[in-house]
Every structure is written in structure tokens, then in C-alpha cells.
Amino acid sequence: MKKNSKYLIIALACVVVLGGAVAALTLTGGTGEDTSSSAAASSSSTIALIDKTDEDLASVTVTNETGTITIHAHTETIETSSTSEEASSGSESASSETAEPEVEVVYEVDGLEGLALSDNVSTVARAGYSLTAQKSIGTVENPEEFGLTDPTATVSAVYQDGSTYSYSIGVENGGYYYVQPDGSDEVYLASISSVLFNSINDLADTTLFELEVGEDTSSAASVAQTTGTYTESAILNVLHLSGTAFERAVTIEYDPEDGYLMTEPRHATADSTKMSEITTSLTSLSADSLVKAHPSQEDLESYGLADPAVVCEFTCNGKEYLLKLSATDADGNRYIVYDGIDAVFQIANSTVTSWADADPFYLQSTLTLLPNIVTVSGMDLTANGQNYHFTIDREEDEEESTEDNTAYIYTVTNGDGTVLDYEENFKHFYLTLISITVAEDSWEMPAGEPQFTCTFSYYDGSDPDTIEYYKVSDRRYAIVANGELMGLALSDTVDLAMNNLVLLNNGETVPDPN
């Protein structure tokens, strides 16, 4: 073989080997090193139009169809300390060391002074110190086709060193926007956050307040915990509801033993379920959007807040809170102001309906007096002109009593001294009596004499409770508890209690109402 031919064959063999390697790399995607190089090349294809940090920014102004937003930035140094523990030879020592101070960038928005700001502020500010284009499309002869003669938004940034940078944002194309820096004929495609097209009000934090969850020690809470309906929430020491929407103002106070009690416009136990809804609503309250920052008196009048439909005042953990609401509009929203924030917000009525749409009858428990049967030492009753008296005696049940709990054996006798059945007949009558509920609201005190009266006496010597039932129609009795009108009861329930009273007194079987 000739020498030149030999070299040619070797060269061809090398080409075949290299070609196979290239093919293998093409089919397998190459090695990790090749992939990294490819990613680096792809990354380098983007164009950094603004490459600064948040600490470089002094201010940024964004103008869009909603108006102008100006954000000012400054840095604050936060001193921190760290504690290190060293252990050697079985001994420990702790020393407090001053860590490197942290630098925090703080933003302020013109027009939102004094208001808490949302995370959207950081997003808008970032548009002033960081902008990366996906590609350049070069110089364009017809900028109006890219939305740059009447831009969707403009961004102007000023930096701490006094330099500036401004650019216009045109129309969208495939998830990117056309961008043109001021003073440049070149147009780019860049990723732009939609937050830049929002209004200044979208930069406000709409959280009104958050309260600390309290420990409800009342009997009502114990019942809710037993039934699995208890919800943790703040404890409202006093709640007062008023306003043009309230014919009668409502005041409810918290008692650590009895729970929430209505003290105005009548004295009654508050409905525990409805109070749980109210306290849950007020434990953490957020509006939907900011409407007007720093409103004037004229603004408050225009939003229906100068003479509000609802005024909600309450105290929690020693702090007073004040909320005012407008009437509900056609879209189911209200305007709201909170005394701690100088702004008007919009909020869905569904968020506040538990207290904003309440009234005394809605918040009142349908049950009237609920003396615990084991605390009652005597009962004096009058039904249809007939008087009845029951004495309940008790003696300690030594077999059932413990160090923590004293058990009793109860005996009930009527006015004639006849011993009656306590465990069934008396308990069945008692349950029928306390199950008479308020079915209808009324504010007209009844006249004449009550048809049915019951006075409870107690072992602990506390003041007796008296409940009276006045027949006001064929189907209703007015309920008066301790001299205060509670509302109307269904006639059937009162008549049943009076019938069972006669059965009990005669020693006859009282049906189980359950």
C-alpha cells in the first residue's frame, strides 16, 4: 500500500469514529458538561436592560391607564444579636455577640402614607431596578404597531447615585411585552408583571386587624366543645351594635361563667352559635380592596359613612375597636372604615353579615331561663288560677361522691307533702318547662294577669327567678322573665307544660318530652 493511501484510510477512520461520537451525543443529549454549556448559552441569550439591586433604587414612578404610582425606597440598618453556646470539659458558657447589621429596604408610596402596604409594592419597585429582555427585535419603523406610541405603561427609575432609567411598555405578544428604553430606537420583548398595570389602591394591605384568640371558660363553650361545634376565636369583652340600620341598639357582654349575655335592649342570654359566628368574623377581619386613602368628610358622606348604617364597637384584651359600615349596595358590598386606619375600604357583606345584619331578636337565645335542675331547691307555680308548690330536698350520696365531686340523692314533694317521683316524672316536667322557647319577637308588654307563672328558688340562696306567661292570642303567649319581656311562645308548648304540671302534682305519669 502506498504511503499516501495509508494516511487517507487512517483519516477516514477518524472521521467515522468522530461522526459516531457526534451522533451518539446528539441522540443521548450529551454529557452533563455539554448540557451545562448549552444552558449557559441559552441564559446568555437574554439581555439585562437593568441590572441593579433594591438597595440601588431611590424611587420608581409607574404611569398606566389608572394613574401614576410613585414609590420611594430607602434603607434602614437593623442591629441584631446572636447568642452562641460553647461547651468544653463538661462546662458550658453562653455569650451574646453582636451580629452583622442587616440592611432592609423600606418602601413608601405617595398617597398611601401611613397605610400598611401589600407585597405588590415590592413587585412594582423591582420594575425599577431589574429588567431582563428575552430578545431584541431591533429597530422598528412603526412603533405604534407595538403599542409604544401610546404605551400601556411607562416606568421611570431614579437611583441612589443620581442616575436614571426609563422605558415604555407596549402591547403583549405571547406572554411577553414590547419594551423600549427611553432614548433608544431598539425594541425588546420582556417579561412584565401584570401588577404594573394595576391602580395605586392595589398596593395597600387590606387587613384591618387580627385579634388574639382567647380562652372561653363559659358553660356555653363547654357545651360546644362537647358537641364538637366549638370554634376558637377572640373574646369580646363588650360588643355594641348601633347605626341607622338598627331600630334598637344592642349591647352584649362576656361573662366567664355564663358566656355572652345581652344587656341591651333586653337582658337575655345571647345565642351561643350566633355569637361564635360574630367572634370568628371579628377575630381576623380583612377588606376586599382599598377605595379611598385619607378620606375627607365629604368623601365619608359620599360613601355613606358620615351617618353609617352600622356602627360596631367592641373591646378585646383591653383595647377598643370601632368599625363603621355603609348600607349594602346592589352588588352585595359595603364600604367600611376602621378607626385604626385612615382609609375607606370595600368589603363583601357576606364577610360581616353575622353582626352587620343582626338585630336583638336574632342574637337572643330562644331559650329563656335555664336553671340547672340540681341547683333548684323549690318551685312555686300558678296555672289557670291554681297554686302549686314543690320542695326539692337533697342528701349526699356517699357511695357516688368523690373528693372532687359531691353526688346527691334528690327527693321532691308537693304542697300536700306527697313524695313524688323525681327521676322521671319531675325531670320530664322540668324539661318540658324549660323547653318553652321564644318563637316570635315582641316589644309590647302584655296587660292583665299571667296565665302561668313559675318561680325558682336555689340551694345557694341566690335571688329567685320568676318567669310569667301571658296569653295574648289563641296561638301565642308573651314570655316575661324577671319583669322583662322576652318575646312570644307558641301556645302549644305552654299548654303542654301546664298539663304536665297537673300530672306531676297528682302523682301521675309525665310523658318524656324527648
Residue 37 lies in a domain: no
CB atoms within 10 A of CB 195: 19
- More confident call, 23 vs 390: 390
Residue 14 lies in a domain: no
Residue 4 lies in a domain: no
Instruction: Determine the 3-state secondary structure of 277 from DSSP.
Output: helix
Question: Average pLDDT over the chain, rounded to whole?
Answer: 88
Do residue 262 and residue 306 come from a single domain?
A: yes
Q: Which range (11-25, 86-100, 121-135, 208-222) has the least confidence?
A: 11-25
Which CATH number does the domain housing residue 285 bear? Answer: 2.60.40
Q: How confident is the model over 7-24, as a mean pLDDT?
A: 35
Do residue 344 and residue 389 come from a single domain?
A: no
Residue finishing a domain among 162, 185, 203: 203
Do residue 332 and residue 190 come from a single domain?
A: no
The yes-or-no verdict on residue 42 having pLDDT over 70 is: no
Do residue 266 and residue 355 come from a single domain?
A: yes
Number of structural domains in the chain: 3
**What is the DSSP track for 78-91?**
E--EEEEEEEETTE
pTM: 0.80
Residue 423 lies in a domain: yes
Instruction: Determine the Cα–Cα distance for residues 467 and 330; give it in Å rounded to an integer.
Output: 44
Do residue 162 and residue 55 come from a single domain?
A: yes
- Provide the H-helix boundaries in 303-401: 349-356, 360-363
Do residue 219 and residue 357 come from a single domain?
A: yes
Residue 7 lies in a domain: no
- More confident call, 170 vs 6: 170
- Give the pLDDT score at 98: 60
The yes-or-no verdict on residue 148 having pLDDT over 70 is: yes
Do residue 390 and residue 341 come from a single domain?
A: no
Residue 124 lies in a domain: yes
Do residue 342 and residue 224 come from a single domain?
A: yes
Give the Cα-Cα-Cα angle 391, 392, 397 (nearest 5 degrees): 155
Domain residues for 483? 373-505
Instruction: Determine the Cα–Cα distance for residues 342 and 291; give it in Å rounded to an integer.
Output: 11
CA distances for 367 relative to 268, 443, 481, angstroms: 9, 17, 11
Do residue 323 and residue 453 come from a single domain?
A: no
Residue 196 lies in a domain: yes
The yes-or-no verdict on residue 403 having pLDDT over 80 is: yes
Residue finishing a domain among 153, 176, 203: 203
Residue 513 lies in a domain: no
Give the H or E element holding residue 410. Answer: strand 408-414
pLDDT band at 27 (very low <50, low <70, confident <90, very high): very low
Contacts of 35 (CB under 8 A, 6+ apart): 29
The highest-confidence range among 82-86, 101-105, 232-236, by mean pLDDT, is 232-236
Do residue 452 and residue 464 come from a single domain?
A: yes
Contacts of 495 (CB under 8 A, 6+ apart): none
Shortest CA distance to 473 belongs to which of 491, 487, 486, 485? 491
Do residue 254 and residue 302 come from a single domain?
A: yes
The yes-or-no verdict on residue 466 having pLDDT over 60 is: yes
Tell how far CA 110 is from the center of its chain.
Answer: 29
Do residue 128 and residue 59 come from a single domain?
A: yes
- Give the pLDDT score at 504: 97
Q: How confident is the model over 433-451, as a mean pLDDT?
A: 96
Residue finishing a domain among 147, 181, 203: 203
